[in-house]
Structures are given as C-alpha cells and as structure tokens.
Amino acid sequence: MPAVVSLRRPIRRLAVASLFAATALALSAPLTLLTPSPALAAEKGVFFPESFTLANGMQVVVIPNRRVPVVTHMVWYKVGAADEERGVSGIAHFLEHLMFKGTDQVAPGAFSRIVAKNGGRDNAFTSYDYTAYHQNVARDRLELVMTMEADRMANLRLTDALVDPERDVIIEERRQRVENKPTDRMSELINATLFVHHPYGTPVIGWPQEMATLTRADAERFYKTWYAPNNAILVVSGDVSAAELKPLAERTYGAVAARPVPERRRVSEPPMAAERRVTLRDPEVRQPWIHRSWVAPSHRVDPGHHVYALEVLAEIMSGGSTSRLYRELVVERKLATSAWLGYNPSAWDMGTLNTGATPAAGVPMDRLEDALWGEIRKLLDQGVTDDEVATARKRMLAAAAYARDSLTGPAQTLGAALATGQSLDDVESWPVRIDAVTAEQVNAAARAVLGKTNHVTGVLLPPVGKDG
C-alpha cells in the first residue's frame, strides 16, 4: 500500500514505510520502563521509550529527550480511511478537518490560533490505518495542548454551518493536490488497480462523487464510533519523562470516559491472477516515469517472515548513490535520472513493494522499462551477495543510531508502529532483527514478492508525439 497520508495543511505524502531510514529508522497501573538491560544495550533499543496505560485504556508512550525544553505531542487514533464504510470515502480525512471546528471550551478555528499564540505549531494527518494530531510546543505549554486535545476527543461540536463549507475545502484540496497533478492521479490509478476490493484501493482523500455527499451526520457517526481514549495512543517526545507526564495525562485524557469500539473488519483482496498495466497520457506531464507495485507483507501480516529481509533488500537496491539501481541505470548506463525500489511494511493489512525510474533526456520509455525489468530479473536470477547484505546492514544500523536526534521522528515512528499492530518491543528490537538478516533470507524474500505476477505497472507519459 503506498504510504499516502493526507494532511489538513496541506495534503502530502509521508513515507512511514521505514521511519528508521527516514529519521535515521491503567491510572493505577505501574509505570513500565522499557530501557534494555546493560547486556543488550549495545544491540537492542532505538528510542528507549517509557510507557504506561490510563484506567480508560489509553496507551501513553514517552520518549525523553532533554536537549531542548521542547516537546512533540501526538495523539494517534487507530482508525483511518480503510475503516470507512462503503459509500462515504473520505470521511476519515473530512473528520480530521472538522476536529478543528471547536468545542464548548474552544471556539471554531481557535485551536491552532491558541497553539500559535503560545509559540507552537500544530497539524494533523490521515492515512489508511490511523489519524494523528500533533503539536510542537515549549515544555511549559504541554498541559495546555493536552487539555485542548482531550477536550476535542470527547466534546466536538458540529453544525451544518461549519461542516458544509469545510466539505468544499476538501473537494478543492482534491482538485489541487490530485486532479491537477498527473503524478498523483497516476499514483491513485495504480493503487486502485492493485487493490480492486480491499479499501487500500480507495484514496485516503476519497472519491470525488462520494466526497460531495458527505454530511455532518456521517462525520458525527464516524467520530462517535472510533474517537475514544481506548482507541487512541498518546506519544510525547522531548523534555519530559513518564513520571512527569503521568499526572498530566491523568488530569486531561484520564477524565475522558472509555467507549466500546468496534473490531477492525476489512474485506480481503482476492488473488491477482494476471499482471495489470495502467498508462496515463497528460499534456501537463513534463517528466515521464514508470512505476511497478507488488503486494507485499507488512509487519503485522508476514506469514513468510520476510519483512526485515525486504527492508535490507530495499537498502541494497535503492540506498543511495552506490545502490544497484542508481549505479546501473543512472551512473553507468545513463538511461535514467532516477531509479529506486522502496518498501512499505507499515500497514494494518498488506504492505507494498514498489520500483520505478524516470528516463534521461532522449531515452525512449520502452528502453528504460526493459533495463529496469532487466535489473529485477538479474536480482531474481543471481541474488544478492553476503557483502551487499553486510554493507546494507551497517548503513541501516548507523542511521538508526541517529534516530533520537529528532523530536518528531521518534514520535512518528512509534505512533505509526503501534497504530498498525506492532509493539514497543518490536520497534526496539529492530536493530537486532536487521543485524540478523542473511543473504539467503533477502534472496528468498525477493523471490517471494518480486517473483510473482501480482503487480501493477504504471506508465506516465506526455501526449502522443511529445514523448521527449
């Protein structure tokens, strides 16, 4: 599943596939400290979080970072676009917008103004599997944003006068961010062709004809169904410890009553019997490209135990200027200006593995396509070497060592992982599991995914006669 994440200001794409690579990588219940033992400290652990659970079921995770008196505060709801009912696509993203329309305590639109007035920044985003709201503020403003976020968790007040104009906003957002951009329209087409039955094939922002019919009642029903403390995760990263945060969390989020939340039930994607191809020609295309997507395991759904091997594979094939695809297609053969392979295992259901390239000036698309698939065939026929795997592991582990330098990156990594079925131990064990990957495992994982025909190829081109 492509990691399409819709932001309120503005919609954009966020690669949560492997945020280790992107960043580097009950009230009475006792406080649980997850710092590893000295014997494992050199091997296991990335963020060394602290965790506790409020009496209402809300999980709280704290990542202490004392470098500056600032915190990133994030609330993750375990619901996204793939949890929507049929016929109301886009309602998860629409509700994300409407969460800023106020409560009895905070006037419509005042939430962001209050955060800004106190020197902070805020935003929100929606994906297929979760919706998150976040603020970056000074340490002494943390209780303020916790109070406001807890308030709108339970007390959102909507009227038609607020909802109807915001529906026009998201429709215009779709026009600007999807319909006016050939690359985004092509990505949407590829996704819908890869997942013809599963909700991952429906765009996060929604289909236009369904977005136009969304109502206040739809938004309120979705809110009352899914927005509850026992379906949320609070992640705070920065100048605070769990011991310091716990009384604040009890006073704010702990005052929100738990509610029954339905089980996530999604239809299964039928087996893909044949490869599929999508071609889009558009006069706005300035840079053609080719893209291929395969259905792949995710951290939660990995029957073949291939996830970590596929992460290493992506590093070998696309981890910088010395990676296989870039070196062969861009540097040596000069057929492309970019060539890549990416893997997204962060999903509640299936993940995706994707590869693609953009042609160099004057290079016909069919020649580039033959060369790209030739590199994939070479991988399947000859495999990767022990040296390639060892080098990739070193690069990945070195990057993970710097993961704590950011405030927002760790909060995003842990929040996305927990919202898609992983545990804190899964995240903290990532270095150990990556370091154990062998060339044999990488080759087996490559054959299990890339060796199948369950893929969609997309080609983006200018109009006929203007191919370069």
pLDDT digits (tens, 9 = 90+) for 349-404: 999 999 999 999 999 999 999 999 999 999 999 999 999 999 999 999 998 888 88
pLDDT of residue 5: 45
- Least confident range from 132-146, 262-276, 288-302: namely 262-276
454 pLDDT tier (thresholds 50, 70, 90): confident
Among 280, 307, 320, which Cα is nearest to 192's?
Answer: 280
pLDDT higher at 411 or 38: 411
User: Does 15 score more than 50 pLDDT?
Assistant: no
pLDDT of residue 9: 42
pLDDT of residue 124: 98
What proportion of the chain, given as a percentage, has pLDDT over 90?
85
pLDDT of residue 403: 84
102 pLDDT tier (thresholds 50, 70, 90): very high
CA distance 98 to 163: 7
pLDDT of residue 464: 81
pLDDT of residue 402: 86
Tokens of 68: 């500056």
pLDDT higher at 62 or 26: 62
Check residue 318 and give left, alpha or beta (phi > 0: left; psi -120 to 50: alpha).
alpha
Tell me the mean pLDDT in the region 223-227: 98
pLDDT of residue 40: 35
Are 229 and 38 in contact by the 8 Å Cβ rule? The answer is no
pLDDT of residue 467: 56
Burial group, residue 69, by CB count within 10 angstroms (0-12, 13-18, 19+) = exposed
What positions carry a catalytic annotation? 96
User: Does 451 score more than 70 pLDDT?
Assistant: yes
The overall average pLDDT reported for the chain is 91
pLDDT digits (tens, 9 = 90+) for 418-447: 999 999 999 999 999 999 999 999 999 999
459 pLDDT tier (thresholds 50, 70, 90): very high
115 pLDDT tier (thresholds 50, 70, 90): very high
Q: Could you tell me which residues come within 8 angstroms of residue 16 by beta carbon, excluding any fewer than 6 positions away?
A: 3, 5, 22, 127, 344, 346, 412, 416
pLDDT digits (tens, 9 = 90+) for 271-327: 888 899 999 999 999 999 999 999 999 999 999 999 999 999 999 999 988 999 999
Are 292 and 455 in contact by the 8 Å Cβ rule? The answer is yes
CA distance 352 to 248: 39
Among 344, 316, 309, which Cα is nearest to 435's?
Answer: 309
pLDDT digits (tens, 9 = 90+) for 179-192: 999 999 999 999 99
User: Does 160 score more than 80 pLDDT?
Assistant: yes
Overall residue count recorded for the chain in this entry: 468
- Least confident range from 37-46, 251-260, 286-295, 445-454: namely 37-46
